[in-house]
Structure 1
Amino acid sequence: MAFDPKLAAALSGATLRQLAHWRKAGVNRGVVLIPEISSTRPVLYSFRDVVALRTCVKLRNDASLQKIRRALDTLRSDLQEHDHLSSYTLVADGSSIYLAESDQAVDLVRRKANVVIHEMVDVLQPFYRDGRHIPPLLRPRAHVTVNPAVRGGVPVIEGTRVPYDEVAALLRDGLPPERISEYYPSVTPTAALDAADFAEYVNSYDPPKEPREAAAG
């Protein structure tokens, strides 16, 4: 299973525009993140990509995109670190970006080793970006979970393999939550409502309609 750009955006806090921008190289700088599964249409992200994207979004709260690109270039070119971006702990403090390791931290912008990191960041936990609440990655809703070992990480109803969007689609078509068990016996009405709420959140990442499209709709 894989994450399409809209779901990757919803789980990471990035916008669709940012995802597209981060797939491209900047002026004299490399790309931020190339999707692991498919970088061409249809673009598809892996679970590790989503973790890395959350890191980039949190970095973007405290650092410019230029600094992020510079830091990643240092990581990849100077330090020769070529593992997936999700395997590194990167932290920004407003002045620079650091690679935090068990025994030291390296300033990836000014290229200094053994600097002090005042705050470690867990990218799996919830955070805010531009006033929007980005849910915890592994449990975006109380009864909706994300586990890379279950359907490749696509959000499912807690304790099941039922994708959230299949449940949400039934409710959107008018099925009362109390009858969801007729289709999925393991899904409770409360879980169904959580699935619908999460689906609404994911759909909020749809790009805005062009004026002509809106008028036609």
Structure 2
Amino acid sequence: MMAYDPKLAAALSGATLRQLAHWRKAGVSRGAVLIPEISSTRPVLYSFRDVVALRTCVKLRNSASLQKVRRALDTLRDDLKESDHLSSYTLVADGSSIYLAAPDQAVDLARKKANVVIHELVDVLQPFYRDGRHIPSLLQPRTHVTVDPAVRGGVPMIEGTRVPYDEVAALLRDGVSAERISEYYPSVTATAALDAADFADYVNIRTPGKF
């Protein structure tokens, strides 16, 4: 199982490092938003499923307060007795509540009202914006960088290869030009190497954000 450290989990999910730490903790009267399934103590390590769930939480926070998100998750877990990993569920928000969505209807989790119709669902794997930041596609965070949980556990790789993005980025940081990367990795083009370096820069930027 691929283990994502908080920095990479934040980069792929759109959450900030502060949010990840805050979401691991239980609230005054509510449970934690998401506890990493690999390791919740140092070193903290997230799974691919955790990253998918985190993207869901980030998208929910675009139109719902953290208190409402916690309330919805508690309803899901305690009232509906849903115990699967959070990534297994489709959760959407419309500004007034959060819903557990099915293809044609959804259960209101935040207000605990009757089923309502949801007209449009958003794929959590696709790119989106959060607090002015562009959060990339989870499965293709850059044109030549891909994430496949079936390949080396989901570590971001150069597209069409088994070469991790960070190994290529490290070579560029050490002064190897993009045009010479193929001397080290014949299947990696200069363009792909630049994409790897760009994604590495994105991962390493720590952007402050709201809870």
- TM category (shorter chain) comes to over 0.9
Identity of aligned residues (%): 87
May I ask how many residue pairs the two structures share in their alignment? 207
Assess, with a 3 A threshold, how the Cα gap between structure 1 residues 164 and 206 changes in structure 2: closer, same or farther.
farther
Identify unmatched segments of 5+ residues in structure 2: none
TM-score (norm: length of structure 2): 0.96
Query: Structure with the greater relative contact order (CA < 8 A, sep ≥ 6): 1 or 2?
Result: 2
How far, CA to CA, are the matches of 2:206 and 2:160 in structure 1? 26
Q: Could you tell me whether the CA contact under 8 Å between 2:104 and 2:117 is conserved in 1?
A: no
How far, CA to CA, are the matches of 1:122 and 1:132 in structure 2? 18
Superposition map of 1:127-206 within 5 A:
127-205=128-206
Identify unmatched segments of 5+ residues in structure 1: 208-217
How far, CA to CA, are the matches of 1:72 and 1:132 in structure 2? 25
Question: What do residues 99-150 of structure 1 show as CA deviations (whole Å, max 9, x unaligned)?
Answer: 0023531000111232011321110000000000000000000000000001
Q: Which residue of 1 aligns with 2:46?
A: 45
Assess, with a 3 A threshold, how the Cα gap between structure 1 residues 163 and 206 changes in structure 2: closer, same or farther.
farther
How far, CA to CA, are the matches of 1:104 and 1:61 in structure 2? 21
TM-score (norm: length of structure 1): 0.93
Q: Could you tell me whether the CA contact under 8 Å between 1:90 and 1:99 is conserved in 2?
A: yes
Q: Could you tell me whether the CA contact under 8 Å between 2:101 and 2:107 is conserved in 1?
A: yes
Q: After the TM superposition, list the runs of 4 or more consecutive aligned residues in structure 1 that deviate by more than 6 angstroms.
A: none
How far, CA to CA, are the matches of 1:7 and 1:141 in structure 2? 14
How far, CA to CA, are the matches of 1:105 and 1:98 in structure 2? 6
Q: Could you tell me whether the CA contact under 8 Å between 1:104 and 1:113 is conserved in 2?
A: no
Identify the range of structure 1 (108-117 vs 159-168) with the bigger mean alpha-carbon deviation: 108-117
Q: Which residue of 2 aligns with 1:212?
A: none
Cα distance, 1:87 vs. partner?
Answer: 0.5
Q: Which residue of 1 aligns with 2:37?
A: 36
One-letter amino acid of the counterpart of residue 140, structure 1: P
How far, CA to CA, are the matches of 1:2 and 1:74 in structure 2? 29
Question: How big is the alpha-carbon RMSD for the aligned residues of Structure 1 and Structure 2?
Answer: 1.1
Cα distance, 1:152 vs. partner?
Answer: 0.9
Q: Could you tell me whether the CA contact under 8 Å between 2:181 and 2:189 is conserved in 1?
A: yes
How far, CA to CA, are the matches of 1:46 and 1:160 in structure 2? 22
Superposition map of 1:114-133 within 5 A:
114-133=115-134
1:10 aligns with 2:4: no
One-letter amino acid of the counterpart of residue 170, structure 1: L
